[in-house]
Every structure is written in structure tokens, then in C-alpha cells.
Amino acid sequence: MKRTIFFLVKIFNDEKYAKDFRNGKLFANRLSYFRNLEEDQDSNRGDIHEGVVSWLQPDQIKLEINGRILTDLAGPVSVKMNWHDHLNVFCIYAAHSGEFESLSHESLADFKKQLEIPEDCLNLGTYAVVVTNFTQFIERVKIATEKNNYGLNACLVNYYNPDTFNGTFSEEEAVFKKRNEYSHQKEYRFAFDTGVTGKEALVLDIGDISDITTQCNVADVNKLLEIKLPVEDTA
């Protein structure tokens, strides 16, 4: 199902970083940063299973080392690609339509709940920048990427159940797959390939975006969200 993205939200601890973002500075850590970050830190920012290419259940795989078959595996076996470590990743919350294909007065409250930022994400900081024009934002990122001759892949992250999923992703799509314990993040992700290896973050300048963003306190984001259906003409 194709999901409609209505707006994006980036949350910051420091107001300076919020202003930098509105000035068009996209701060993108390497994927290795998130792989090495402790999972219980920063409201689930870290994930040692970032970029898993294969996730294989223990009863669906046979491991053999020097002729000896290993049995009684403690858990799923994951396979990663080292080159993914060097990708620079920019993550942002995407308020989208989810499973809703249509909207009515009866479903309005549930739809609003679908768009609201969950508590775990609100805990990421104090300041929120809302991107009100998703299409324009994407276009400006593309222009800056092409100008710098970087590779770019971007899309919504899809979430899988690590207890039941058994399979393999392509190397490109693996960067956009995460375990479902992170599904509350509703992440839209940009993966930049600068062609440069290392651990340094990337600051991509896409130009001033104050015309398509607004800033507010995190506590006010959901309060400011208002949805109205067209008034039916009964004449």
C-alpha cells in the first residue's frame, strides 16, 4: 500500500540545531554510528541490527564449520555488509496515512491519532521543526545531492517482526529495513553515498528551508495538529 506523507518532524535538544536545520543544514551520521550506539540510549536511536541484509531464524538455517554442523543456535543469524557502515544517514519522522485508504467523520479521531507524534519520539528533545511541504523538501535534497555528486536513496523505513521474519533483503533496501520495535519512529530516511569511507558525519547544505518549515516546542506539536473534512453541501 502506498502511504501519503503529510508532513515531516525533526526533534532537537538544542535550539541552535533546530535553527541550523531550518537554514538547510542536514546533519547525517554514518550508519556505523547507529550500529555502535547503545540501544537503551537516546530513545532508541541506536540499533546494532541496522542494515541487516539477511535475518535467518535458527530453525531455518544450517551452519557448518570444518565439517561440524552447529545446532541449538541461541537466536536468529544476521548478515550485514561492511560498506553500509560508510553511508551517511539522515532520519526524520514522517506523519503518513498508514493503513487508512479513506477518511470519514467516524474515522477522523483514529486518523488524527495516526498522525500524532508518539511519546517515545517526543522524548528526543525540546524543539520541533515541522516540514510542511514534503515534496519541496525532497526536491531540495535531490538538488543538493546531485550538485555534490553524491549517491542518494530515500524512502520510508519498513519494519519487520524479528521473531517471525526469515529472509534476505537486497543490499540497497536493507538500509531501509528495521525491527518492528522501532516502528513508532515512522522514519523517512535519506542514505547518502559520498564515496568517502570513514566515520565522519556529513552536513549537507540544501539551502534555506524556513519557507517550508515551522518551529515549535515539542510539547505543542500534537496540540497544533488539526484535521478538518470538507463541509458537505446539503442544498
Can you spell out the DSSP letters for 119-151? HHHHTT-SEEEEES-HHHHHHHHHHHHHHTT-E
Q: Which of 160, 184, 185 is nearest to 56 (CA)?
A: 160
DSSP 72: S
**Per-residue tens of pLDDT for the chain, all 235 residues:** 678 899 999 999 999 999 999 999 999 999 999 988 865 444 466 788 999 999 988 887 777 676 666 666 678 888 999 999 999 999 999 998 887 877 777 777 788 888 888 888 888 889 999 999 999 999 999 999 999 999 999 999 999 999 999 999 999 999 999 999 999 999 999 999 999 999 999 999 999 999 999 999 998 888 877 777 765 544 4
Q: Which of 107, 132, 99 is nearest to 229 (CA)?
A: 107
Q: What is the pLDDT of residue 87?
A: 97
**DSSP E strand stretches across the chain:** 5-12, 25-30, 52-56, 63-65, 68-70, 77-80, 88-96, 127-131, 151-156, 158-160, 167-168, 177-179, 187-193, 202-205, 213-217
Q: What is the pLDDT of residue 235?
A: 47
b/e map of 90-121 (b: 16 or more CB within 10 Å)?
Answer: bbbbbbbbeebeeeeeeeeeebeebbebeeeb
